[in-house]
Structure 1
């Protein structure tokens, strides 16, 4: 009986090994996808199982070679979707157990190649990232000049290989955030004294760290990241707004203090004074702490304005700003908020979020909130600050003609600018000076 058990045990192990080896050798390239973006070109190989691969670059002509082992079936290339000016052609060769894929390139570039495990809706993937040569460089601090626009960086959450959450109908979060972001950008760009910068302009992947870099490169006054929430059950609903948690803020300041090569970028003009930021760490930390504190206070005030507007067009999941450690909120020098416009996992919210009219209402509410926030607290060198300074509170004995003479404008212009039907004004009334 013992011998029989031993025989069965060995047979079982043999069978397990056989099927394990069979599955190990049964990989296959199912499709190839190309995702171009301003920052990089991403090529994705969708595979049936985890890839076993080697890669190397060649020059004259420029190309990347990927050798896949344990591949069964034909070495013919599967369907390819997308294109990029970087990639001239993709070709393949192979035998019964391996496949070589060659990417012919238009220029010499150093790629990053890595594997990704399954994440819905994708399975196993081999990813090749080709960085672009051009990057947005931070502009020097502005000198004294004419009043500037307030810059709002708008980040449409997720994109490309990162679809975000998936709604009951199968729609991806990335396909909801971009149209809302585009509508918001249009409204901001129509507003005198405001300018929008889109972090993501199409369906491509962009790393969370790069999102804040784009905002910093454009010297953004505020970063607004647009998302749709999700939960494991369909009940939760409504919008919410998130700001950076104090714990994450403290961690980020400490981490950035170690990156002395980035101090001139993070400290702005103060870096010219703190020449030896490694030895004057306490001074650098004070400046970064002040910058982070200002960013967090500004973000919280903006978040409150956004919640107030969102509450007029949709239900709120949280009535007050929530603190979290989201990576897109971590910049110490750029006030940042993350807006969850609803729960994509809730059928009613999802239906609304898919509606173009509701997307327009969301964008309009965000625009009103951001405009009001910066009207109340405009940057000192902005057009909004200049407009706010050109206000006058009527005192006893003052008339419209007297004020027109004092500010060197015509009575007609003063009347028209304040939408007055006649020349009558009252004590305490605030007039805008054209």
Structure 2
């Protein structure tokens, strides 16, 4: 006999069995969408409460990328998303293929190569689905073969740290490292480009993330003679202050701040996304480990010399954290064929230096110091077949503590040749005096 109580119990049991299925059906939620535009690519980031279960496909006429998120809902108004991409027209919600699926459509300007991957929570972000869209670069110009090598500029790749999803360190008043270092990097770029015989290449020119391996690849593709990465330091306490210059160490950093910075770089990669490992199609780029070691040794020696010149000039415009180049294992410095330095412009975690780093005059002073240090090295050691190497003479302004013998040693020329080039009757020089330095 079926009683009223038994019917009620069965109904409740059925409801209880259905509840988990209903919850699982829409357990996830889309809380945010961010679009980061680079010159030839765009990254779209979907912020989710749970790890995403997703699938995707492309459509043409018009070009679209469709992303289906299983068991996901949203209350967002996607029409209000900030978008400055040259590849993405808009992101919108479309009719789902089945109940409980959130269908997102990225309307595209042209065909793109899409790479989708999920990222686990990394403060300050939670679960994310990242969509990298590559629109391809402009066609490379055809270079005609020449029997005599044409004189070229010294190429300096300038890398503004962090960007996009990765804010870098954040100061006590909320200043983002990624913002101030881009401002300083652009000032260095302008000064390099205003120097005859030199040319700058930026690894990023806006607020977007570039994988650390990709930064070195941009420098290599540009045939850079030097890679300079611009950052702002931070530490767990507000006391440390001062600028520093870092070079590559093949071992772990031996200072507490160095270890902190190495850990920060790993965090940067997690924030920016699991970018691809650069693979060079030419398997014989480095024919043997011996050549690779020689290349690395040469690059590290040059890097250390340039770091010293940059530090010397930074010390004239700001407090220094250390007066000698420091060493740590940073991925952005590990390109074996390109001399590379990392400039920490100051401690953004220090109240005073956070304020200074946002001031245009201080940024300009820092940029001037970096530029002077780079120029000083390459004027003294110009690469072959460059315009700097073929200038007849150099000019040197005498600074405090310098003598003719010190200046001669720096430029690897004799005292007598400097005296002859400047018609000097004695070895006495004065501060501020401009000397012509003959080529060795």
> CA shift at 1:301, angstroms?
0.6
In the TM superposition, 1:27-426 aligns within 5 A as: 27-72=28-73, 74=75, 77=78, 79-93=80-94, 94=96, 97-134=100-137, 144-247=148-251, 261-263=281-283, 266-267=285-286, 277=287, 284-387=288-391, 425-426=424-425
How far 1:433 moved relative to its partner? 6.9
Q: Distance in 1 between matches of 2:365 and 2:424?
A: 36
Distance in structure 2 (CA, Å) of the matches to 1:427 and 1:145: 41
Give how far 1:322 is off: 1.7
Q: Structure 1 residues 52 and 142, CA, compared in 2 at 3 Å: closer, same or farther? A: farther
Q: Deviations over 1:181-212 (max 9, x none)?
A: 11111111111222111111111111111111
Deviation at 1:87, TM superposition (A): 2.1
CA apart distance, 1:133: 1.3
Q: Distance in 2 between matches of 1:136 and 1:288?
A: 31
Could you tell me whether the CA contact under 8 Å between 1:395 and 1:427 is conserved in 2?
Answer: no
Alpha-carbon distance in 2 for matches of 1:73, 1:148: 55
**Secondary structure of 1:28's aligned partner:** strand
Secondary structure of 1:92's counterpart equals: strand
**Structure 2 gap segments, 5+ residues each:** 1-15, 253-278, 396-412, 430-434
Q: Aligned partners of 1:332, 1:198: CA distance in 2, in Å?
A: 19
TM-aligned CA distance change 1:302 to 1:20, over 3 Å: farther
Distance 1:374 1:20 in 2: 68
Q: Deviations over 1:229-274 (max 9, x none)?
A: 11222122221211111359xxxxxxxxxx784355x45xxxxxxx
- The gaps in structure 1 that reach 5 residues or longer are 1-14, 249-258, 268-276, 278-283, 404-417, 419-423
Aligned Cα RMSD in Å?
Answer: 3.4
| Partners of 1:167 and 1:20 in 2: CA distance | 45
1:251 aligns to what? none
Asked if 1 retains the 8 angstrom alpha-carbon contact of 2:234 and 2:349, the reply is yes
CA distance 1:104–1:223, shift in 2 (3 Å): same
Q: How many residues align?
A: 370
Distance 1:23 1:171 in 2: 40
CA distance in 2, matches of 1:142, 1:217: 20
Tell me the TM-score normalized by structure 1. Answer: 0.75
Shift of 1:394: 8.2
Post-superposition shift, 1:376? Answer: 2.2
**Counterpart-to-counterpart distance in 2, 1:112 and 1:203:** 20
Q: Report if aligned partners of 2:159, 2:229 keep a CA contact under 8 Å in 1.
A: yes
8 Å CA contact retained: 1:71, 1:96: no
CA distance in 1, matches of 2:415, 2:163: 52
Kept in 1: contact 2:243–2:345 (CA 8 A): yes
Alpha-carbon contact 2:243-2:319 (below 8 Å) kept: yes
Q: CA deviation at 1:174?
A: 0.6
Q: Is the 8 A contact 2:155 2:200 kept in 1?
A: yes
Deviations 1:139-161 (A, max 9, x none): 98997445432111110111112
SS in 2 for 1:185: helix
Other-structure match for 1:421: none
Give the Cα–Cα distance (whole angstroms) in 2 for the partners of residues 231 and 138 of structure 1: 46
Question: CA separation in 1, counterparts of 2:416 and 2:298?
Answer: 35
Question: Contact 2:165–2:209 at 8 Å: present in 1 too?
Answer: yes
In structure 2, relative to structure 1, the CA distance for the partners of 1:319 and 1:121 (3 Å cut) is same
State the distance in 1 between where 2:174 and 2:99 align: 37
Native 8 Å contact 2:25 2:72 kept in 1: no
